[in-house]
Structure 1
Amino acid sequence: MLLQATVRLVIAPLARLLYRPVVEGRENVPRRGPVILAANHLSFIDSVVIPLVAPRPVAFLAKAEYFRRPGFKGWLTRTCLTGIDAIPVQRGGHREARASLQLALDVLAEGRAFGLHPEGSRSRDGRIYRGRTGVAWLALASGAPVVPVAVLGTDRIQPIGARLPRLGKVTVRFGAPLHFTQPAGSVGQARRAVTDEIMAAIRDLSGQEPADGYNDLTTAA
């Protein structure tokens, strides 16, 4: 907890000084209790920017490989990720995906905020892709409200393949919370409907052009 507090006290003001982010709708994030922040995904730093500008700590999942990188850069990455409450996870198949959702559910059960990108990976063309239903599973299983989030400009600050971030303008918009209840009918259809509603809210905030299908996790990784 000391490291998290230190990172927020040191890095957050520095980031605000360098990038002067425009933050809209912070009042839409509940200050207490479990909440899911569902955001679009344009850059690696999206999961860093959101915790730094949100009104409360937000936990994100991060690939375990980021925590094992050698050298000074590896240490810096581990320190920053740990400082923003990132949780290391193994990426893989269905079993790993279920384990990741359970970790997220545990975070919410503790009354904390959890962030995720329903598209699954970064958009390479700036469009917003169809959401995967893990976000709906999490919302329905936990009963936590979902706050849609749009992050804009991070794709210019750190494009895919860039090693270091550049200077640029960042905008983060927090939308009104969405509330969902357990469905009475088909669970699969309900999860799809909930996911589509969340993605529509994110799209309205970001103004991105919608893509027809899912983001290709293989080529976008």
Structure 2
Amino acid sequence: MAYWIFKYIIIGPIVKAIFRPWIVGRRNVPVEGAAILASNHLSFSDSIFLPLLIDRPMAFLAKSDYFTGKGIKGWATRLFLEGTGQLPIDRSGGKASEASLNAGLQVLGRGELLGIYPEGTRSPDGKLYRGRVGIARMALEAQVPVVPVVMVDTGEVMPIGRRVPRIGRVGIIIGEPIDFSRFQGMEGDRHVLRSVTDEIMVALQRLGAQEYEDVYASTVKSRATATASATRSPSTGSAS
């Protein structure tokens, strides 16, 4: 009930009136049964626009930090995420990653739609980066199709670091479902997992024509942070 209230009465009409989002390929989302919607990730707002523009309820595995914001904005964000079925996950790795996998499998086991960002984090510069294999494990273990989704211009409306979105038009392109049933029972093979993940990323790149770089987005962010820190640090050398 909360989902429908948020989507059709509270948030949906406001968002649609302000941002006038467009969508192509809505029919590619299965009308019933479990499926994974694999999306590129340009902005925090991706998790808002996609659920509002498809006809079925869906859940995203959302970064747990999104649920811990302070003040009115933090409260509103948390209320929206919870109202639309978003699941807080810890991305610190290890046991946390396994817990995230199990949470996603529970959603799929109920025959529902699950949204995943294969890159694992928002793109720092609009490029598409290497996917992480967790999505492949879920797809093969749950035996569900993967639907590629491309978010368009959400990074312009709400780029990383911006608290209040700009007014602008955003779009969504949904591709045809990808069937990985040929790999059934092979979810323990790391080479298969990498192959499946790469196939998903190729589908996303072709659908959205983003520039692709075969490195993890988190690595790019870490390098940028290290470079910025080195630039700010005073020189420790002495003049000869």
TM-score range, shorter chain: over 0.9
- In the TM superposition, 1:108-127 aligns within 5 A as 108-127=108-127
Please list every run of 5 or more consecutive structure 2 residues that lacks an aligned counterpart in the other structure: 226-240
| Cα distance in 2 between the residues matched to 1:184 and 1:4 | 35
| Cα distance in 1 between the residues matched to 2:42 and 2:66 | 18
- In the TM superposition, 1:130-145 aligns within 5 A as 130-145=130-145
Relative CO higher for 1 or 2, CA cutoff 8 Å, sep ≥ 6?
A: 1
Q: TM-score, normalised by structure 2?
A: 0.87
Equivalent pair of 2:137/2:187 in contact (CA under 8 Å): no
| Cα distance in 2 between the residues matched to 1:184 and 1:65 | 33
1:158 matched residue in structure 2 = 158
- In the TM superposition, 1:1-221 aligns within 5 A as 2-9=1-8, 10-181=10-181, 182=184, 187-216=189-218, 219=221
Comparing 178-187 and 107-116, the one that deviates more: 178-187
Change (3 A) 1:186 1:52: closer
| Cα distance in 2 between the residues matched to 1:98 and 1:78 | 23
| Cα distance in 1 between the residues matched to 2:100 and 2:11 | 27
Equivalent pair of 1:60/1:87 in contact (CA under 8 Å): yes
Equivalent pair of 1:8/1:83 in contact (CA under 8 Å): no
Structure 1 position 116, deviation (Å):
0.6
**Amino acid in structure 2 at the alignment position of 1:7:** F
Equivalent pair of 2:141/2:187 in contact (CA under 8 Å): no
| Cα distance in 1 between the residues matched to 2:23 and 2:156 | 17
Structure 1 position 17, deviation (Å):
1.2
Q: TM-score, normalised by structure 1?
A: 0.94
| Cα distance in 2 between the residues matched to 1:106 and 1:172 | 26
**Amino acid in structure 1 at the alignment position of 2:198:** D
Structure 1 position 65, deviation (Å):
3.1
Change (3 A) 1:94 1:138: same
| Cα distance in 1 between the residues matched to 2:64 and 2:188 | 35
Residues 63-103 of structure 1, C-alpha deviations (whole Å, 9 max, x = no match):
33332333322221111111221112223121101100100
Q: How many residues align?
A: 220
Equivalent pair of 1:120/1:217 in contact (CA under 8 Å): no
Equivalent pair of 2:140/2:186 in contact (CA under 8 Å): no
| Cα distance in 1 between the residues matched to 2:143 and 2:82 | 27
Q: Greater CA radius of gyration, 1 or 2?
A: 2
SS of 1:149 mapped into structure 2 = strand
| Cα distance in 2 between the residues matched to 1:55 and 1:74 | 27
Equivalent pair of 1:121/1:217 in contact (CA under 8 Å): no
- RMSD value over aligned CA atoms? 1.8
Equivalent pair of 1:149/1:175 in contact (CA under 8 Å): yes
| Cα distance in 1 between the residues matched to 2:87 and 2:101 | 12
